[in-house]
Structure 1
Amino acid sequence: MSTSNTKLTLHEDWAVVILGSLVILLAIAGLLIPVPTFGWANAAELGSKVFGAENLAKIAAQFVFVFIIGTVGALITGKSVKNYALGFPLVYIITIAALILAGSKQAKALNLEAVIFSLVLGLAISNFIKLPEWLKSSLSTELFVKVGLVLLGTSVIFSDILKAGSLGLIQALLVVTSVWYFAFWVCRKLKVDDEMAMMISSAVSICGVSAAIATSGAIKGDSKKLSYVISMVLITAIPMMIFMPIIANYFHFSQEVTGAWLGGSIDTTGAVVASGSLVGEAALKISTIVKFSQNVLLGLAAFAISIYWTYTKHPSANDKETKPTLKVIWERFPKFVLGFVGASLLFSFVVSPEKIGFVKDSLKSLQGLWFALAFTSIGLETNFADLFNKNSKKPLYAFLIAQTFNIFVTLGIAWVLF
C-alpha cells in the first residue's frame, strides 16, 4: 500500500470516530433528530402513518442531518463533495424505500431487517441499470458502516451484564469462545478464505449482523463477502426463530433454559425477541439478557480480531517476512473500534440513565439508517455474480455446520447453567 493510500485510510478511520462522536455529543447536548415511523400493516396505514406530512418531515430532517454529516466526511477524507451531494439523495431515497418495505407487517413477521432490503434494492438497480462512474465514486460505504458502528456502541451498556448475573455472563463467554473457534476451524477445514472465515465465526458466535459488520470493519474486509455472510445470517434466523420454540415446547424445556438457548444461538436480536415472546415472559427476559451479554462482548472481540489480523496478515511490501512493529499495528488498527468502545464506556458509566432514555431512540434510529445506507451502497456497487458465485458454496456449508454446532453446544450450556 502506498504512503498516500495509507494516509487516506487513516484519515477515513479517524473521520468516522470524529463524525460518530459528533453525532453522539450533539444528541447529548439536546439536538435530537426525530424518529420517523416505517411500520405499517395495510395501505391505509402506509398512507396515513408513513406518508403523512408529519412523518415525511421527520424523514426530511434525518436526510438533512445525515447529508451534512456525510458532507463533512467527504471533505475530510478528500472525496468529491460535488459527487457526494449529487449521489447521496438517490442512495437515501432507495434506503427509505427499503425501510418502508422492512416496516411492513409481513416483513416484521418474518423478521426481515432493513439491511437485506437495502442490499436487494441496490443489487436490482445496479444489475439492470448501468450506473455512471461519478455515482459509483460518490458511494461512501465504509464511512456509513463505521459511523453506524460507533453509534452502535451507545446501545452496548455494561450494566446489562450485571442484570444477566453470573450465569448469563458465563454462558455468553462460553458460547462466544467455543462457537467462534469451532466455526473458524470448520472454515479452515473447508478452505474458506480467512476474511470470510473471520466474518462467519463472529456472526455465528456473537450477534449476527452487527458482529459481521464490526469484524469486516476490523479487518478491512471485502464488502461483497460481508453481504453474503449477512444474507446467510438473516435467512437462517427465520427457521430458527420459528422452530426452536416448537422444539423446546415438545421436549418440555423450562422457560429459563429455553430463553438462554434462544438468546445464545439465534444470531439477530430481533429474532431472539420474537422467538422468546412465543415461549413466554420468563423466556423473553432471559433470552434478551443473554443476547445483550453477547452483544457487550462485541467491542472486545473486534479489538482482539483487529490486533490478530494486523499482526498476522498482509505484511507490507517491503517487509513480507517479519512481523509488523507496534507502530505499524497502530497505523493499521481500525480506529472505529476506539469510537465504539468509547461510546459504550460513555453511555455505561458517564451519561445518566435519564439522559440515555432521552437520546437512545434517536441514536438507535440513526444507527439503523447508517447501516441501511451502507448496504444500499454495497448493492449499488456489486454484481449478482460477485455475491453468489461458484465459490460461495463452501462458506455456506461452513456457516450451516457452525450454526448447527452453535445450537447444540448452547443448549448444553443453557441446560447445565439454568
Structure 2
Amino acid sequence: MPYTPPKSPTESPEPQRSALITHDDWLAIWCGGLILAVAVVLVSMCGKSAGEYLGKPGSWRTSPAEGLYTAGSEFLSTPLSGSLVAGGVIAALFSIAQAVRGRNPIQFLAGYLIVFLLALAAYVLAGQEIIKAYNLEYALWALLVGLIISNTIGTPKFVKPAVLTEFYIKTGLVLLGAEVLMSKLLELGLPGIGVAWVVTPIVLITTFWFGQRVLKMSSPTLNIVISADMSVCGVSAAIATAAACRAKKEELSLAISLSLTFTVVMMAVMPVIIKLIGLEPYIAGAWLGGTIDATGAVAAAGATLGETAAQVAVTVKMIQNILIGVTSFAVAVYWTVFVDPDRTGERVGVGEIWRRFPKFVLGFLAASIVFSFIYAQVPGGEELTSGVIKGLTKTIRGWLFCLAFVCIGLETNFRELLPQLKGGKPLVLYVCGQSLNLCLTLLMAWLMYGVLFPPGTN
C-alpha cells in the first residue's frame, strides 16, 4: 500500500457544516422564503407587471414551436423567454444553495441544463391541444421522459448532481403554503372541514391496516406512503410521508406512479358519473376535492361541472392540503415509537421524532400563516397576495414540481421496482383504499352539504 504521511499538527479536519445549511428540509425553507420575500418586494414596487417575464410553454396544435413563441410579439414576452427566465432564476438560486452546502455549483449547473430541458419538453408535450383536452398534465410527461432515459441509456453521471428530487419539491411545497389562505379555507366553514378532515384520517389508517394485516405487505414504508398519497393529497403528501418514515426512493416513485395514473382516470370519469347521477354542485365539488389527488386535476375536473363545483372542489382540496404537516408528524411519531423498535428490536429516542419530522413542513405552515395575515389584515393585502402568487411564485412552483418529476423518473429503474410489484399488492392496496375513499367522501359530502349545512345556511 502507498505510504500516506500523517497530518501535521497545524492541519485541522474540515469543519462540519450545520444541518441548517446542508439538509434539504432547511434549505428548502430558506430558498422558498427568499423567493416569497423577493416576490413581495417586486410586486410592491412593480405591481402585477412584476411577473410578466416569468412563464411556461403555451398551447399548440400542429407544431411545438407554437407553444414556445407567439408570432408578432417581442421575444421577451414569449412563452420561451418566460420559461428561460424561470429556469434561470431556479438555476441561480439552487447553484448558490449547492455552494453553501459545500458542493460544486458548476457540476450542478451542467446537469441542471439537461434536467431543465427535459422539464421544458414535458411542458411542451402537455401543451398540445388534444392532450390538454384530456387533462394529461405536465407531471405525467415529466415522469415519462425521465423514466425513458433511466431505463434505456441510463442517467448520465454528469446529470446526477442536478437530480435533486426532494430539494425541488420541498421548496415548491414551501411556496404552496403561501397559496393556502386561511380566510379562503374558512369560507366553506364546517362542511368543507368535515369532508376534508374527517374522511382523510379514517381512510389513511384503514388503508395502512388493510395493507399490513390483510394484504401482508412486506414493506410498511411502501404501505404508508401509498396510503398517504391516496388519502391526503397525492404527490405532496407522499413526499412528506416518505421523508417521515424514510421510505426508499423506489417506493416513493411507485406510489407517485400509481397516483398519477389513477388521477388521470378519476379526473375523466368522475365528472361523467356526477352528471349521470345528477349530484348538486356543492356535493359534487366536495366529492371531487376530497378524492382526486392533484390540486390541478381537481380544478380541471371541477371546471367541467361549473363554477360553483370548481370552487368547492379546489377549496376542499386546499383544506385537505393542510393535513400534509399533520400526517407527516403523525407518521414520524408512529414510526419512531412503534414500527422501528418492532422491526429492529431497538428502542429509538424521542429526539428521533424531531430528526425524522420533515422540517420543510414548518416552512409550508409559516408561509400559509404569513400570507393569510397579509391577505386579511394588511391594506391592499388581497391585491399584493394575488400578485405574488399568480404572477410569480405559482409559476416558479410549477417549474420546481416539473423538475422534481423529471428527477423521479431519472432515479427510477423498473428492475428495482419489480420486486415491489410482486403479487400486485400495491395496486390492490390503492384500488381498495381509493374505493373506500370515494364511498366515505361522497357520504360525508352529502351529509355536510345536503343534510346538515345545505347551501345558503353555512
Whether the TM-score (by the shorter chain) exceeds 0.5 is yes
Q: Is the contact between residue 115 and residue 162 of structure 2 (CA under 8 Å) also seen in structure 1?
A: no
Code of the aligned partner of 1:43: T
Q: Is 1:22–2:34 an aligned residue pair?
A: yes
Distance 2:330 2:433 in 1: 21
Q: Is the contact between residue 73 and residue 143 of structure 1 (CA under 8 Å) also seen in structure 2?
A: no
Tell me the secondary structure at the aligned position of residue 151 of structure 2.
Answer: helix
2:114 equivalent among 82, 90, 111:
90
Could you say which residue in structure 2 is the equivalent of 1:397? Answer: 428
Could you say which residue in structure 1 is the equivalent of 2:321? Answer: 295
Code of the aligned partner of 2:315: I
Distance 2:100 2:334 in 1: 29
Distance 1:28 1:411 in 2: 39
Could you say which residue in structure 1 is the equivalent of 2:357? Answer: 333
Could you say which residue in structure 2 is the equivalent of 1:38? Answer: 57
Tell me the secondary structure at the aligned position of residue 228 of structure 1.
Answer: helix
Code of the aligned partner of 1:283: A
Alpha-carbon offset, residue 204 of structure 1: 1.6
Alpha-carbon offset, residue 156 of structure 1: 1.5
Greater radius of gyration (CA): 2
Distance 2:22 2:358 in 1: 8
Taking structure 2 as the reference length, the TM-score comes to 0.82
Distance 1:416 1:222 in 2: 39
Taking structure 1 as the reference length, the TM-score comes to 0.89
Distance 1:9 1:142 in 2: 15
1:153 equivalent among 171, 177, 182:
177
Tell me the secondary structure at the aligned position of residue 322 of structure 2.
Answer: helix
Query: Where in structure 2 are the equivalents of 1:141-290 lying within 5 Å?
Result: 141-189=165-213, 190-192=215-217, 193-290=219-316
Tell me the secondary structure at the aligned position of residue 23 of structure 2.
Answer: helix
2:24 equivalent among 9, 12, 26:
12
| Structure 2 residue ranges without an equivalent (≥5) | 1-14, 44-49, 376-380, 450-458
Distance 2:138 2:303 in 1: 21
Tell me the secondary structure at the aligned position of residue 304 of structure 2.
Answer: helix
| 1:58-115 residue CA offsets vs partner (Å, 9 max, x unmatched) | 1221122111111122112222223112111111111111111122223322322222
Distance 2:82 2:304 in 1: 33
Q: CA RMSD in A?
A: 2.6
| 1:344-367 residue CA offsets vs partner (Å, 9 max, x unmatched) | 111112352221111102211111
407-416 or 275-284, which deviates more: 275-284
| 1:191-216 residue CA offsets vs partner (Å, 9 max, x unmatched) | 33222222212222122222222322
Q: 1:221 to 1:347 in 2, by over 3 A?
A: farther
| 1:225-270 residue CA offsets vs partner (Å, 9 max, x unmatched) | 2222122112112332233233333333323222222222222223
Q: Is the contact between residue 120 and residue 379 of structure 1 (CA under 8 Å) also seen in structure 2?
A: yes
Code of the aligned partner of 2:25: D
7-16 or 76-85, which deviates more: 7-16
Alpha-carbon offset, residue 388 of structure 1: 4.5
Distance 1:133 1:295 in 2: 36
Q: Is 1:384–2:414 an aligned residue pair?
A: yes
Could you say which residue in structure 1 is the equivalent of 2:439? Answer: 408
Tell me the secondary structure at the aligned position of residue 30 of structure 1.
Answer: helix
Q: Is the contact between residue 114 and residue 159 of structure 2 (CA under 8 Å) also seen in structure 1?
A: no
Alpha-carbon offset, residue 314 of structure 1: 4.8
2:137 equivalent among 113, 124, 133:
113
Distance 1:10 1:191 in 2: 38
Distance 2:249 2:137 in 1: 18
Could you say which residue in structure 2 is the equivalent of 1:59? Answer: 83
Q: How many residue pairs were aligned?
A: 411
Alpha-carbon offset, residue 5 of structure 1: 11
| Structure 1 residue ranges without an equivalent (≥5) | none
Distance 1:292 1:416 in 2: 20
Distance 2:67 2:109 in 1: 29
Query: Where in structure 2 are the equivalents of 1:350-389 lying within 5 Å?
Result: 350=374, 352-361=381-390, 362-389=392-419
Distance 1:99 1:299 in 2: 29
Q: 1:306 to 1:353 in 2, by over 3 A?
A: farther
Distance 1:330 1:250 in 2: 48
| 1:17-75 residue CA offsets vs partner (Å, 9 max, x unmatched) | 2111111111111175533242314136x434423433222122112211111112211
Tell me the secondary structure at the aligned position of residue 298 of structure 1.
Answer: helix
